Amino acid sequence: MRVIGLDPGLRLTGYACVGLHEGAERLEEAGVLRLKRGDGSPQGLADRLVELEADLRDLIERLEPQAACVEAVFAHKAFPGTAIAMGHARGVILLTVRRAGLPIVELSPAVVKRSMTGFGRATKDQMRLAVQARYGLAAPPTPADVADAIAIAAGGLLRHTHESRIGPVGKLP
């Protein structure tokens, strides 16, 4: 079983692929899809979304995951524009993943943090250190989008394997 985890963004989209091999969880690959800076125009935004779709399609073809996990939309009152920007990237990601025929697991940031660190309000640094420890990495993943994508993939793998054994558990907050 292999799950691709995606941390949506219009500048950097983190990705990670984790899998179960002989009963052990293993990080297979992680990184970021770096999108060209836009000029702020609607055309520039559209071009970035097309680039994200093409890069993600190539990534899915190469990694051959059986499922995808995406971070759910969240909005922080101090940064409402972030949710809007993330929504554009999420839309492209959801469309591309479904066109690839993959089932999608969606997890809230708090659930991802709780599953990786035991605390739903973990900081970026705590997440990076937890991912490093869990997968025995030489250094914490950089940038933070990579650590987030690894944690999202790990949560998606757990959810997918759990549901395959006992059935759907419903949407978690």
Whether this prediction's pTM lies above 0.95 is answered by no
The answer to whether position 143 is within a domain reads: yes
The answer to whether position 172 is within a domain reads: no
- In this prediction, residue 163 carries a pLDDT of 60
Across 40-49, 133-142, 152-161, least confident range: 40-49
The answer to whether position 171 is within a domain reads: no
The answer to whether position 161 is within a domain reads: yes
Q: What is the pLDDT of residues 80-126, one digit of tens each?
A: 777 787 889 999 999 999 999 999 999 999 999 999 999 999 999 99
**Which residues lie closer than 8 Å to 61 by C-beta, 6 or more apart?**
100
- In this prediction, residue 160 carries a pLDDT of 79
The answer to whether position 130 is within a domain reads: yes
- In this prediction, residue 173 carries a pLDDT of 43
CA dihedral 136, 156, 12, 96 (to 10 degrees): 140
- In this prediction, residue 92 carries a pLDDT of 97
Active site residues: 7, 71, 145
What's the whole-number mean pLDDT along residues 62-78?
A: 87
Share of the chain above pLDDT 70, in %: 91
C-alpha closest to that of 50 among 28, 35, 60, 29: 35
The answer to whether position 151 is within a domain reads: yes
Range of the domain at 90: 2-166
> 135 pLDDT exceeds 70?
yes
> 39 pLDDT exceeds 90?
no
The answer to whether position 106 is within a domain reads: yes
Strand order in the sheet with 104-107: 24-34, 12-21, 2-7, 67-71, 104-107
**CATH code at position 17:** 3.30.420.10
Number of domains composing the chain: 1
